[in-house]
Copies of this chain bind each other. A is one copy, B any other.
Amino acid sequence: MFFTYPKESDVAYPVQDETRPSPAPQGDCAPGPEVETLVREMIGRVADKWTMLVLEELTEHGVVRFTRLGELVGGISQKMLTKTLRQLEADGLVRRTVHPVIPPHVDYRLTSLGESLSEAFCGVWIWAEQHHREVAAARQMFRSTEEAATPD
């Protein structure tokens, strides 16, 4: 096999420094070393395929029933929906309410804690909205650069 690097973004200059301690160039929200642990925990919780989506739909629609929520999220199996909701409930982000009627009626809504998280994610939503074009462009460029490096 030949040169297997898919592509090179950039080549050159002799090495000098790396891992410079200089802080974040912008906003900077540098969490302390201990805080990082728990931040990671939270990320682990939320960083899955469905949690954010469910959170989003609950934010948008307020009080929603199980099946309806599944429709809103779209593409989720009831198994995953159940699991995701249980997790959110366990973390105090969602409140589950059972109405003792027949047939069963269960609805879900964000707790205030859940709402606060949703708010926190707002920034990311907005970012996605504002920058998705740039991402799409970057992706396309990456692909073409990639295939340029692949001698077919």
> Using a CB–CB distance below 8 Å, which chain A residues touch chain B?
1-2, 5-6, 8-15, 17-27, 29-31, 35-36, 38-49, 51-53, 56, 59-65, 67-68, 70-71, 75-78, 86, 89-93, 95-101, 103, 105, 107, 110, 113, 115-129, 131-132, 134-135, 137-139, 141-143
B138 A105 Cβ-Cβ under 8 A: no
Q: Return 20 A-B CB contacts under 8 Å, by A number.
A: A5-B67, A8-B98, A9-B68, A9-B95, A9-B96, A9-B98, A10-B96, A10-B98, A18-B68, A18-B107, A25-B62, A29-B119, A31-B125, A36-B56, A39-B132, A42-B135, A92-B139, A93-B135, A113-B134, A120-B127
B138 A113 Cβ-Cβ under 8 A: yes
B12 A100 Cβ-Cβ under 8 A: yes
B118 A27 Cβ-Cβ under 8 A: yes
- Chain B residue contacts of A139, Cβ below 8 A: 90-92
A75-B19 CB under 8 A given contacts A122-B27, A134-B113? no
CB distance from A69 to the nearest CB of B (A): 9
A137 B92 Cβ-Cβ under 8 A: yes
A29-B122 CB under 8 A given contacts A42-B128, A68-B8? yes
A38 B100 Cβ-Cβ under 8 A: no
By CB atoms of chain B within 10 A, which of A20, A127, A141 has the most?
A: A127
